[in-house]
């Protein structure tokens, strides 16, 4: 087993911040056109020393183990960061604790970056872009089943531009 695989395995043994956040301020969802995996991230902000910073972040993944491992680490890393600081983090930085991602897994980190950017953009905009038509924020599983039915509430972001 490579060092990377070991780190993924260790992270998945105790993933952090997994699950829907009911009182989130914003939510972002992305899908990877490469593999069809999806990831949703929730952010909750708080005031600290006169600055608005991320109090907590959580995620739900319908995807591979690498994306879950990166999201687990990224949601820990985001705590205490301002939206501006968080927006500057790229996939490489978010997955830094795992070491360099193998070429086949680079888009897994980009999926996490995409969900974060999507959540941060939703934070500015009052109409959050992952809400379903009736205004309820659906679960990832519901979104996926809705997507399969007809119009999709999920914003698919091209990650490989
Ligand atoms: Fe697609 Fe990991 S294989 S997100």
What is this structure's pTM? 0.79
Out of 1.10.3720.10, 3.90.1010.10, 3.90.330.10, 3.10.580.10, select the CATH number for domain 3-147: 3.90.1010.10
DSSP string of 15-82? -SSBS--TT-SEEEEEE-TTT--EEEEEEEEEEETTEEEEEEEEEEEES-HHHHHHHHHHHHHTTT-B
Q: What is the pLDDT of residues 2-59, one digit of tens each?
A: 899 999 999 999 999 999 999 999 999 999 988 999 999 999 999 999 999 999 999 9
**Ligand 1 centroid to 98 CA: how many Å?**
15
Q: Which of 24-33, 83-92, 102-111, 147-156 has the lowest mean pLDDT?
A: 147-156
Measured distance CA(71)–CA(19) in Å, rounded: 11
Helix, strand, coil percent values for the chain (each to nearest 5): 45, 20, 35
Q: What is the pLDDT of residues 52-99, one digit of tens each?
A: 999 999 999 988 999 999 999 999 999 999 999 999 999 999 999 999
**Ligand 1 centroid to 133 CA: how many Å?**
28
Question: Among 37, 69, 72, which residue has the most ligand 1 atoms within 8 Å of its CB, making it the best to mutate?
Answer: 37
Domain ranges of the chain: 3-147
**Ligand 1 centroid to 63 CA: how many Å?**
6
Helix (H, G, I), strand (E, B), or coil: what is residue 131?
strand
The pLDDT value recorded for residue 63 is: 82
């Amino acid at each position: 087993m490579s060092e990377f695989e070991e780190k993924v395995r260790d992270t998945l043994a105790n993933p952090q911040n997994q699950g829907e956040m009911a009182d989130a301020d914003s939510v972002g969802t992305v899908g990877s056109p490469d593999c069809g995996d999806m990831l949703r991230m929730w952010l909750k902000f708080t005031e600290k020393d006169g600055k608005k910073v991320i109090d907590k972040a959580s995620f739900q993944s319908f995807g591979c183990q690498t994306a879950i491992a990166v999201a687990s680490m990224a949601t820990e890393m985001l705590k205490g960061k301002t939206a501006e600081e968080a927006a500057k983090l790229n996939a490489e930085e978010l997955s830094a604790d795992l070491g360099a991602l193998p070429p086949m897994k680079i888009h897994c980190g980009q999926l996490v970056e995409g969900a974060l950017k999507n959540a941060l953009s939703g934070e500015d905009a009052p109409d959050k872009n992952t809400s379903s038509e009736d205004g309820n924020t659906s679960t990832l599983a519901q979104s996926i089943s809705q997507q399969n039915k007809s119009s999709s509430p999920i914003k698919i972001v091209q990650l490989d531009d």
